[in-house]
Amino acid sequence: MGRSPIETPGPGPVETGPILKRVIANAGMLLGGRSVNALLGLGYMALGARGLGVAQFGVLVLIHAFAQFLGDVVKFQSWQTVLNYGARPLAEGRVADFQRVLRFTIMLDLASSVMGVAMGVAGAFLFADDLGWQSAYAPAAAGYVVSVAFMVSAAPLGLLRLFDRFDIMARQTALVSLVRLIGSAIAFAFDAPLWAYLLAWGLGPLAGFVYLVAGSWRELSRRGLLAGFSWRGPLTEGMPGIWRFAWATNMSATLEVAFTHLITLMMGALLGPAQAGLWRVGAQIADAVAKPAKLLVPALYPELARLRAEEGEGTMWRLARQVGVLGGAVGLALLAVATAAGEPLLALIMGREFAAAADVMTWQVAAAVIGIFALPLEPMLVSLGKAGATAWVRLAVSVLFLSALVPVVGRFGLIGAGAVVVGASVALGLGMGWILLRAPEAGDLRKKSLADRGPDA
């Protein structure tokens, strides 16, 4: 599927048209899976909301957010390492060097899994009251965080993106939600307690993990990339700066959590489980609305990695600009839909008591759309070797965001949190744009872009 990653094009200007079409096609393939995933996700959330009520549903989403938070914190984003360090040896047919990248990223995933589960089990007992669920639910929460081990499978994602197998990833995301939906439907039918919904939600990542690993292993075998593979040998030989890159991308992704799962936990700690449940419902809708445009990002990363490896730097700037404009247009259209239909949609799907999330949902969708306009900035910076700069920008914005969140939520409640998230999205986009424009590499890209377009550009 797609072009073989072994192919090496000749030098010279590269037209962005075919690449943009491939980005859109791959994003569309992911969208198919994510659209199904979004519908299934709303389905199992609706079953949980109607089966448990606002308060216990809030406990459910808090425990889930805690596990997701841990998974994102410990995950080393090794898929970016696969793309950044694996694209060139794969294109040049250096199988041994590619296998070294693969061995390093798998080791990162395994270490992350062990660390995440250990931290989660301890935290489920130690911070149960502080995070908004009672200590009586601590054993169930500890059991649920075992699913963290299946949330950090980033290396298979990088392989499948490098091989243009976005269809496998699309099916995997749908599979996770399908398993959760079936389990939640069984729990709802038997009027089961909270632990049954936790079990259903925990089995989803396990099923997705098995499918993802099997798919990536099959692709490696089909391309002959497993011949001679060994778990022994040097991890970082011939890959200068790989640890720095891994830590920088991990830090950047960890800070991004401040705008997703961490804020759900903070809503539980500051306002209680019921308000946390309303926030999570609004965030789920906002994520579903913004997802079509945001899916351009995972489709964009491998193309930028290939262009960088194949010395097609002049094309990178034009491609990123086109993706930003396209994604922003889609995001604005979906913001209008969410604003007009938010309250009746929530009442219909989740129940009347959840319609109160409509106002904060509008703020959440607006923040997502701002992020969509800026979505090519981080992939560009990472592809230019500026992963550390993105981490520092996220750190600065996160400090400001978290500093403002507590007093603003204390005075304005959920709406205040929504406004802070919008401000953080603006600051993040401006910060990354400023770093990119100041980077010497970015200036070279713009010059090459204009040169490739000719004197009439």
For the ranges 57-66, 132-141, 322-331, the lowest mean pLDDT is seen at: 322-331
| Measured distance between the N- and C-terminal CA atoms of the chain, rounded to whole angstroms | 34
**Do residues 223 and 165 touch, judged by C-beta distance below 8 A?**
no
Name the nearest CA neighbour of 238 among 101, 383, 377, 394.
101
- Section 207-226 average pLDDT: 92
% of the chain surpassing 70 pLDDT: 78
Question: How does the average pLDDT of the chain come out, rounded?
Answer: 80
- pLDDT tens across 30-44, in order? 555 556 777 788 889
Q: What is the pLDDT of residue 290?
A: 66
- pLDDT tens across 179-193, in order? 999 999 999 999 999
In which residue are the tokens 């700069």 written?
Answer: 389
**Do residues 50 and 351 touch, judged by C-beta distance below 8 A?**
yes
pLDDT at 441 over 90: no
Of residues 233 and 139, more confidence is placed in 139
Prediction pTM value: 0.69
- Section 212-227 average pLDDT: 91
Rounded CA-CA distance 434/359 in Å is 32
Rounded CA-CA distance 300/390 in Å is 17
pLDDT at 302 over 60: yes
DSSP state of 76: -
For residue 116, CA distances in Å to 76, 177, 357 come to 11, 22, 31
Angle at 392 between CA 87 and CA 30, to 5 degrees: 45
What pLDDT band is residue 314 in, cutting at 50, 70 and 90? low
| Structure tokens that stand for 295 in this block | 């899916």
Please provide the DSSP assignment of 129-179 as one string.
TTTTS-GGGHHHHHHHGGGGGGT--HHHHHHHHHTT-HHHHHHHHHHHHHH
What pLDDT band is residue 409 in, cutting at 50, 70 and 90? very high
- pLDDT tens across 318-374, in order? 766 676 677 777 778 877 877 887 788 778 777 777 888 888 888 988 888 888 777
**Do residues 99 and 223 touch, judged by C-beta distance below 8 A?**
no
Dihedral class, residue 413 (left if φ above 0, else alpha if ψ from -120 to 50, else beta): left
- Section 298-302 average pLDDT: 63
Please provide the DSSP assignment of 33-67 as one string.
HHHHHHHHHHHHHHHHHHHHHHHHHHHHHHHHHHH
pLDDT at 442 over 80: no
- pLDDT tens across 62-109, in order? 999 899 888 888 877 788 888 888 888 888 888 988 999 899 999 888
Rounded CA-CA distance 394/14 in Å is 32
**Do residues 124 and 70 touch, judged by C-beta distance below 8 A?**
no
- pLDDT tens across 236-247, in order? 887 888 888 888
Q: What is the pLDDT of residue 3?
A: 42
